């Protein structure tokens, strides 16, 4: 553990599965993808088109790589987060000169983390721990592979914009990936909290991302009231504006992130994980796709039930039916895929 905070002992979460902190909609998609034999390898090969080697060289040449000699405190935060979340390898982290506050985990073969000076300078030490833990959570979940693919698809969509049908098809895929991407951000806010184990620092970081460095002028309770007002919505016009405003957005709005993390803390989930009640990584292969699909649909339904938005009321009724039907469909597809895999394996063994 880092020697910079000897007064605060943090709990190591040995063998923790990323399912412990993943948002249901994020977890459902990932469990489905992980269950498809060979899919991860295909996706990694496709994401290689993004030229990860060139990307790494770009940051190596134009940013500062964190180490024991450069930004040593941040280096400790990365090591601590990897230790607490039981990650096998500590990812590299680069500090990039850029006034826009941002951080990201990218790459497929060997994911690495980038944090801008705009974000670094905005946060205090414990808030930086939260952000670093957030990005390490992306690495543990395997998000970096799919996020890199999304960046490649966005670039491809821009190149084929002059082909109407091709562009429309790609934009539909990108829109679906962006929705998953936003849910993955909610997942990793939880991972950041688990890594830093300081709920107040996590909330401060999210408020600063919305309102800047003047923390004394902001109030967490008032910020949560903003989230409540936004979630409850107004009339149908507000519903449409909300939907349109999400187009092209890869991150949820700050008030939503704050409210989601606050709910996760208040419902006892955070404390249960810290106490050792969480799924283990070696049980990931046994996760049910159908159950996760139902959990994902139910999570949307619960979110819509919190809203008085008229459009959300209609979607809530649809989700209630889809939760059960979707789970059954995913179960059937998964069973067929696994059966096909067993047949292929039997054929290979008899021929050798």
**Ramachandran quadrant class, 71 (left: phi over 0; alpha: psi -120 to 50; beta: rest):** left
The residue whose two tokens read 């709920």 is: 199
Q: Which long-range contacts (CB under 8 A, 24 or more apart) does 240-248 make?
A: 240/311, 242/309, 243/311, 246/178, 246/179, 246/182, 247/175, 248/178
Output the CA torsion sign for 97, 102, 105, 106.
negative
The residue whose two tokens read 């998000």 is: 143
Task: Confirm whether 41 is a catalytic residue.
Answer: no
Task: Give me the catalytic one of 127, 135, 185, 231.
Answer: 135
DSSP classification of residue 91: P
Helix (H, G, I), strand (E, B) or coil at 175: helix
Q: From the CB of residue 242, how many other CB atoms can be counted at a distance below 10 Å?
A: 18
Distances (CA, A) of 345 to 40, 327, 334: 18, 27, 16
* Residue 65, φ and ψ in degrees, nearest 5: -80, 125
Strand partners, 112: 106
Paired sense of beta strands 112-116 and 103-106, if any: antiparallel
DSSP classification of residue 114: E
Q: What's the Rg (C-alpha) of the chain?
A: 21
Output the CA torsion sign for 59, 248, 202, 31.
negative
The residue whose two tokens read 């979460």 is: 13
Q: Which long-range contacts (CB under 8 A, 24 or more apart) does 348-351 make?
A: none
Helix (H, G, I), strand (E, B) or coil at 184: helix
Residues annotated as part of the active site? 135
């Amino acid at each position: 553990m880092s020697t910079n905070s000897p007064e605060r002992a943090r709990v190591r979460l040995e063998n923790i599965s990323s399912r412990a902190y993943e948002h249901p909609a994020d977890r459902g998609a990932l469990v489905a993808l992980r269950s498809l034999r060979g899919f991860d390898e295909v996706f990694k090969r496709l994401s290689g088109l993004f030229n990860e080697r060139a990307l790494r060289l770009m940051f190596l040449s134009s940013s500062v790589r964190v180490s024991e000699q450069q930004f040593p405190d941040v280096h400790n935060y990365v090591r601590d987060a990897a230790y607490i979340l039981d990650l096998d390898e500590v990812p590299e982290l680069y500090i990039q000169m850029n006034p826009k506050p941002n951080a990201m985990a990218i790459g497929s073969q060997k994911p690495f983390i980038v944090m801008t000076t705009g974000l670094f300078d905005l946060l205090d030490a414990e808030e930086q721990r939260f952000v670093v833990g957030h990005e390490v959570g992306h690495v543990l979940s395997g998000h970096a592979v799919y996020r890199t693919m999304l960046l490649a698809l966005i670039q491809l969509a821009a190149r084929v914009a002059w082909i109407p049908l091709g562009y429309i098809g790609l934009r539909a895929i990108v829109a679906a990936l962006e929705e998953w991407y936003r849910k993955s951000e909610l997942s990793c806010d939880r991972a950041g909290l688990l890594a830093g184990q300081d709920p107040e620092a996590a909330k401060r970081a999210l408020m600063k991302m919305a309102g800047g460095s003047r923390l004394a002028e902001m109030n967490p309770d008032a910020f949560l009231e903003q989230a409540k007002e936004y979630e409850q919505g107004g009339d149908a016009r507000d519903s449409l504006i909300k939907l349109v405003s999400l187009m092209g957005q890869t991150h949820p709005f700050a008030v939503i992130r704050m409210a989601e993390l606050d709910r996760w803390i208040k419902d006892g989930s955070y404390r249960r994980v810290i106490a050792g009640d969480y799924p283990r990584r070696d049980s990931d292969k046994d996760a049910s796709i159908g159950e996760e699909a139902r959990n994902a649909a139910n999570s949307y339904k619960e979110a819509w039930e919190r809203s008085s938005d008229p459009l959300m009321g209609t979607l809530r009724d649809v989700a209630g039916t889809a939760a059960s039907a979707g789970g059954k469909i995913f179960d059937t597809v998964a069973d067929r895929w696994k059966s096909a895999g067993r047949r292929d394996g039997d054929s290979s063994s008899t021929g050798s």
